[in-house]
Protein backbone atom coordinates (compact mmCIF):
# COMPACT_ATOMS: atom_id res chain seq x y z
CA UNK A 1 0.00 0.00 0.00
CA UNK A 2 2.84 2.36 0.86
CA UNK A 3 4.48 1.71 -2.52
CA UNK A 4 1.19 2.38 -4.29
CA UNK A 5 0.79 5.67 -2.41
CA UNK A 6 4.37 6.71 -3.25
CA UNK A 7 3.82 5.97 -6.94
CA UNK A 8 0.54 7.89 -6.94
CA UNK A 9 2.17 10.92 -5.30
CA UNK A 10 5.03 10.76 -7.82
CA UNK A 11 2.50 10.58 -10.66
CA UNK A 12 0.60 13.61 -9.34
CA UNK A 13 3.78 15.64 -8.97
CA UNK A 14 4.92 14.75 -12.49
CA UNK A 15 1.56 15.61 -14.01
CA UNK A 16 1.06 18.84 -12.09
CA UNK A 17 3.96 20.81 -13.51
CA UNK A 18 5.42 20.53 -16.99
CA UNK A 19 8.50 22.51 -15.91
CA UNK A 20 9.48 19.61 -13.68
CA UNK A 21 8.42 16.90 -16.11
CA UNK A 22 10.29 13.65 -15.63
CA UNK A 23 10.20 10.63 -17.89
CA UNK A 24 8.94 7.34 -16.57
CA UNK A 25 11.60 4.68 -16.06
CA UNK A 26 12.46 2.57 -19.08
CA UNK A 27 11.07 -0.95 -19.07
CA UNK A 28 13.91 -3.40 -18.30
CA UNK A 29 12.57 -5.78 -20.96
CA UNK A 30 12.64 -3.01 -23.58
CA UNK A 31 8.88 -2.63 -23.98
CA UNK A 32 7.20 0.68 -24.63
CA UNK A 33 6.29 2.58 -21.43
CA UNK A 34 3.18 4.75 -21.25
CA UNK A 35 2.47 7.81 -19.13
CA UNK A 36 -0.13 10.54 -18.72
CA UNK A 37 0.20 14.31 -18.95
CA UNK A 38 -1.89 17.30 -18.00
CA UNK A 39 -3.48 18.19 -21.36
CA UNK A 40 -3.97 21.82 -20.32
CA UNK A 41 -0.37 22.24 -19.14
CA UNK A 42 1.55 19.66 -21.20
CA UNK A 43 5.31 19.11 -21.18
CA UNK A 44 7.25 20.77 -23.96
CA UNK A 45 7.58 18.98 -27.27
CA UNK A 46 11.30 18.53 -26.53
CA UNK A 47 10.53 16.88 -23.17
CA UNK A 48 8.12 14.44 -24.81
CA UNK A 49 10.67 13.69 -27.55
CA UNK A 50 13.38 13.11 -24.94
CA UNK A 51 11.16 10.60 -23.08
CA UNK A 52 10.47 8.74 -26.32
CA UNK A 53 14.09 8.62 -27.47
CA UNK A 54 15.61 7.89 -24.06
CA UNK A 55 13.09 5.49 -22.47
CA UNK A 56 10.67 4.60 -25.28
CA UNK A 57 7.99 6.34 -23.19
CA UNK A 58 4.83 7.40 -25.02
CA UNK A 59 1.72 9.23 -23.87
CA UNK A 60 -1.40 7.11 -23.41
CA UNK A 61 -3.80 7.47 -26.34
CA UNK A 62 -6.64 7.56 -23.82
CA UNK A 63 -5.01 10.60 -22.18
CA UNK A 64 -4.46 12.67 -25.34
CA UNK A 65 -6.58 11.83 -28.35
CA UNK A 66 -8.88 13.34 -30.96
CA UNK A 67 -11.57 14.17 -28.41
CA UNK A 68 -9.16 15.25 -25.67
CA UNK A 69 -6.17 16.92 -27.33
CA UNK A 70 -3.32 18.65 -25.52
CA UNK A 71 -3.23 22.44 -25.83
CA UNK A 72 -0.03 24.17 -26.96
CA UNK A 73 0.89 27.78 -27.59
CA UNK A 74 0.55 28.19 -31.35
CA UNK A 75 3.91 29.91 -31.76
CA UNK A 76 5.71 27.17 -29.79
CA UNK A 77 4.89 24.65 -32.53
CA UNK A 78 6.46 26.65 -35.37
CA UNK A 79 9.90 24.96 -35.25
CA UNK A 80 8.26 21.59 -35.82
CA UNK A 81 6.51 22.44 -39.06
CA UNK A 82 7.18 20.04 -41.88
CA UNK A 83 6.19 22.64 -44.46
CA UNK A 84 6.86 26.34 -43.87
CA UNK A 85 4.38 28.85 -45.31
CA UNK A 86 6.03 29.09 -48.74
CA UNK A 87 5.90 25.31 -49.20
CA UNK A 88 2.33 24.59 -48.13
CA UNK A 89 0.42 22.36 -50.53
CA UNK A 90 -2.41 24.92 -50.62
CA UNK A 91 -0.98 28.42 -50.56
CA UNK A 92 -2.84 31.18 -48.63
CA UNK A 93 -4.28 32.66 -51.83
CA UNK A 94 -6.00 29.40 -52.82
CA UNK A 95 -9.71 28.84 -52.29
CA UNK A 96 -9.17 25.70 -50.23
CA UNK A 97 -6.90 27.56 -47.80
CA UNK A 98 -9.33 30.47 -47.51
CA UNK A 99 -12.26 28.08 -46.89
CA UNK A 100 -10.31 26.36 -44.12
CA UNK A 101 -9.41 29.73 -42.63
CA UNK A 102 -13.08 30.82 -42.62
CA UNK A 103 -14.08 27.52 -41.00
CA UNK A 104 -11.47 27.88 -38.23
CA UNK A 105 -12.42 31.52 -37.71
CA UNK A 106 -16.07 30.56 -37.32
CA UNK A 107 -15.88 27.16 -35.57
CA UNK A 108 -12.38 26.90 -34.13
CA UNK A 109 -10.21 23.85 -34.69
CA UNK A 110 -12.33 20.80 -35.48
CA UNK A 111 -9.33 18.46 -35.64
CA UNK A 112 -6.12 18.54 -33.59
CA UNK A 113 -2.75 18.94 -35.21
CA UNK A 114 -0.76 15.71 -35.20
CA UNK A 115 2.81 15.88 -33.93
CA UNK A 116 4.95 12.88 -34.82
CA UNK A 117 7.91 11.81 -32.67
CA UNK A 118 10.67 9.57 -34.01
CA UNK A 119 13.07 7.43 -31.99
CA UNK A 120 15.66 8.89 -34.36
CA UNK A 121 15.21 12.26 -32.58
CA UNK A 122 13.13 13.98 -35.26
CA UNK A 123 9.78 15.59 -34.49
CA UNK A 124 7.41 17.26 -36.93
CA UNK A 125 3.87 18.41 -37.47
CA UNK A 126 2.85 15.54 -39.70
CA UNK A 127 -0.72 16.68 -40.21
CA UNK A 128 -1.95 20.21 -39.71
CA UNK A 129 0.65 22.53 -41.25
CA UNK A 130 -2.15 24.53 -42.91
CA UNK A 131 -4.16 24.73 -39.67
CA UNK A 132 -1.07 25.83 -37.78
CA UNK A 133 -0.37 28.57 -40.33
CA UNK A 134 -3.98 29.75 -40.07
CA UNK A 135 -3.75 29.71 -36.27
CA UNK A 136 -0.74 32.02 -36.51
CA UNK A 137 -2.53 34.30 -38.99
CA UNK A 138 -5.63 34.57 -36.82
CA UNK A 139 -3.63 35.08 -33.62
CA UNK A 140 -5.13 32.01 -31.95
CA UNK A 141 -3.28 31.59 -28.66
CA UNK A 142 -3.54 27.82 -28.17
CA UNK A 143 -3.96 25.00 -30.62
CA UNK A 144 -5.11 21.38 -30.04
CA UNK A 145 -2.48 18.69 -30.53
CA UNK A 146 -2.30 14.92 -30.40
CA UNK A 147 0.76 12.71 -30.66
CA UNK A 148 2.02 9.76 -32.67
CA UNK A 149 5.17 7.86 -31.71
CA UNK A 150 7.15 6.17 -34.48
CA UNK A 151 10.58 4.62 -34.91
CA UNK A 152 11.70 7.03 -37.64
CA UNK A 153 10.38 10.41 -38.62
CA UNK A 154 11.89 12.57 -41.34
CA UNK A 155 11.49 16.19 -42.36
CA UNK A 156 12.43 17.40 -45.80
CA UNK A 157 15.36 19.79 -45.97
CA UNK A 158 14.98 23.21 -47.57
CA UNK A 159 16.80 21.87 -50.63
CA UNK A 160 14.38 18.94 -50.90
CA UNK A 161 11.43 21.32 -50.54
CA UNK A 162 12.89 23.55 -53.23
CA UNK A 163 13.26 20.53 -55.51
CA UNK A 164 9.63 19.56 -54.88
CA UNK A 165 8.05 22.98 -54.98
CA UNK A 166 10.62 25.33 -56.50
CA UNK A 167 9.66 27.76 -59.26
CA UNK A 168 10.96 25.45 -61.96
CA UNK A 169 8.64 22.57 -60.97
CA UNK A 170 5.49 24.39 -59.89
CA UNK A 171 4.03 24.40 -63.37
CA UNK A 172 1.18 21.85 -63.53
CA UNK A 173 2.52 20.39 -66.78
CA UNK A 174 5.86 19.50 -65.19
CA UNK A 175 4.64 18.15 -61.82
CA UNK A 176 1.24 16.49 -61.66
CA UNK A 177 -0.35 16.90 -58.25
CA UNK A 178 -2.71 14.68 -56.38
CA UNK A 179 -6.34 15.84 -56.45
CA UNK A 180 -7.99 16.92 -53.20
CA UNK A 181 -10.11 13.76 -53.25
CA UNK A 182 -7.05 11.53 -53.78
CA UNK A 183 -5.26 13.35 -50.92
CA UNK A 184 -8.20 12.88 -48.54
CA UNK A 185 -8.44 9.19 -49.45
CA UNK A 186 -4.70 8.75 -48.83
CA UNK A 187 -4.98 10.45 -45.41
CA UNK A 188 -7.94 8.21 -44.58
CA UNK A 189 -5.85 5.14 -45.41
CA UNK A 190 -2.87 6.35 -43.39
CA UNK A 191 -4.78 7.43 -40.29
CA UNK A 192 -7.66 4.96 -40.47
CA UNK A 193 -10.39 7.58 -40.84
CA UNK A 194 -13.47 6.80 -42.85
CA UNK A 195 -14.40 9.19 -45.62
CA UNK A 196 -17.00 11.61 -44.34
- Residue-averaged pLDDT of the chain: 84
Beta strand pairing call for 70-73 and 142-150: antiparallel
The pLDDT score that the predictor gives to residue 135 is: 97
What mean pLDDT comes out for the span 173-186? 69
What mean pLDDT comes out for the span 174-195? 70
Is the pLDDT at 18 greater than 90, yes or no? no
Q: What angle do CA 80, 38, 126 make, to 5 degrees?
A: 25
Is the pLDDT at 166 greater than 90, yes or no? no
Domains (range + CATH), the chain: 2-158 (3.90.1530.30)
What mean pLDDT comes out for the span 142-147? 97
The full length of the chain comes to 196
Model confidence at 77, in pLDDT bands (50, 70, 90)?
Answer: very high
Summarize pLDDT for 102-136 with one digit per residue, the tens.
Answer: 999 999 999 999 999 999 999 999 999 999 999 99
Q: Say what the pTM is.
A: 0.72
The pLDDT score that the predictor gives to residue 63 is: 94
Query: Would you say 113 and 145 are in contact if contact means Cβ atoms under 8 Å apart?
Result: yes
Q: Is 109 helix (H, G, I), strand (E, B) or coil?
A: coil
What mean pLDDT comes out for the span 48-65? 95
The pLDDT score that the predictor gives to residue 188 is: 79
Q: Mean pLDDT check: name the lowest of 21-35, 48-62, 130-144, 172-186.
A: 172-186
59 phi/psi in degrees, rounded to 5: -80, 135
Amino acid sequence: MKLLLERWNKFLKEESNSLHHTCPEADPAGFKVYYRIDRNNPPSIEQILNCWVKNEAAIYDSNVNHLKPALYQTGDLTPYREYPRGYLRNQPETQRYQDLKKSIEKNGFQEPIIVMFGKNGVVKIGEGNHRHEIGLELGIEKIPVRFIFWQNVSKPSTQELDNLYGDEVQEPEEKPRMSDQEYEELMALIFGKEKQ
